[in-house]
Every structure is written in C-alpha cells, then in structure tokens.
C-alpha cells in the first residue's frame, strides 16, 4: 500500500491512495494505434484514447483484449412501448410469482449503461418488478423485469418505472 500526497496511512482497501485538492489523476494518453500496440494488455488496464476521446478499459484478457469506452453519458431511450408489455405467465392470488417476468420493448437506445431498479406494485399490491442494470442496445431493445412476491388480490398490478429518461 502506498500513499502519494499525504502522510497518513492509506485507506485500508487501497493499493494506491492518491491525495490532494489541487489536481487529479492523469492516466496515459494515446491514440487507438498506440493503444493497440500494447503487448499483452492486462485485464482492467486503463488508458485515455485520444482518437476516440474516451477513457478505455481492457474488459477482455491479455491474450484477447476487448477495449471498451467507459461512458459517463446518461442512458437514454427515445420511447418505451408501454402497451406492448408482455408477461411470461399469468399470476394468481396468493401464489408466489417466482419465475415470472415482463418484457418491455424500447426504441432509440443510445448504448449507455442504465442502473437497476426495483418498483413495488400498485393496484394489486404485494409484487415487485426488478430490472438488473445493464447496457441499452443502440436502437431497439427490450427491458426484462423479474416479478417477485405474491399478489394480494385480483385485478391489475401496475409498476411506475423510469429508464433512460422515459417513464411508463
């Protein structure tokens, strides 16, 4: 463990603890060609790609690099087709919803990362719709919400969701 810019012990979980309030961390900057010339890049290696103007990480292995831009742009979709929500099966009162999912199509995805969410049902209560975080497709795609819980009554269960700047 190493501290740079300070005289107190490093944070317990840090291998390298950089401290300061008048500058930031500057990682190697290179073109795509220069980055591609790195022999056996370690998984997790970070560079700033000046050709693409993005922070890249090798998400692959040394033998098979997979350079991925780490985006800080917000996830965005043009529209969610709420009327086309498709459940995988029907639910019954007082029966566990385990194994049930709802597919919800979207258009205009920008390929960025969206956070996961869990939303409680209204109308018919007792259910939760959960969406794992992931990357939007560029263009059209589907969200898949896992439904858990036990419906408390008959009727329609509604879930107020917001993903990629659109609500349904």
pTM (two decimals)? 0.62
CB 10 within 8 A of CB 3: yes
Return d(Cα 8, Cα 70) in angstroms, integer.
Answer: 31
Q: Look at the alpha carbons of 22, 25, 31, 34 in this order and tell me if their dihedral is positive or negative.
A: positive
Task: List the chain pLDDT tens, one digit each, 168 residues.
Answer: 899 988 889 999 989 999 988 888 899 999 999 999 999 999 999 999 888 777 999 999 999 999 988 866 788 999 999 999 999 998 899 999 999 999 999 999 998 878 889 999 999 999 999 998 888 999 999 999 999 999 999 999 999 999 999 999
């Amino acid at each position: 463990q190493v501290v740079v810019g300070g005289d107190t012990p490093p944070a317990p979980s840090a291998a390298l603890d950089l401290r300061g309030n008048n500058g930031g961390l500057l990682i190697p900057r290179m073109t795509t060609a220069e980055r591609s010339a790195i022999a056996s890049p370690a998984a997790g290696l970070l560079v700033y790609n000046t050709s693409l103007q993005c922070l890249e990480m090798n998400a692959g292995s040394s033998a098979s690099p997979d350079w991925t831009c780490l985006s800080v742009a917000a996830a965005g979709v043009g529209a969610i087709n709420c009327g086309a929500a498709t459940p995988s099966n029907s639910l019954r009162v007082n029966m566990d919803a385990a194994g049930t999912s709802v597919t919800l199509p979207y258009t205009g995805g920008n390929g960025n990362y969206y956070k996961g969410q869990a939303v409680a049902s209204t109308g018919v209560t007792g259910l939760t719709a959960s969406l794992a975080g992931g990357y939007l497709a560029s263009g059209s795609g589907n969200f898949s919400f896992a439904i858990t819980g036990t419906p408390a009554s008959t009727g329609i269960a509604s879930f107020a969701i917001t993903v990629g700047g659109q609500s349904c």
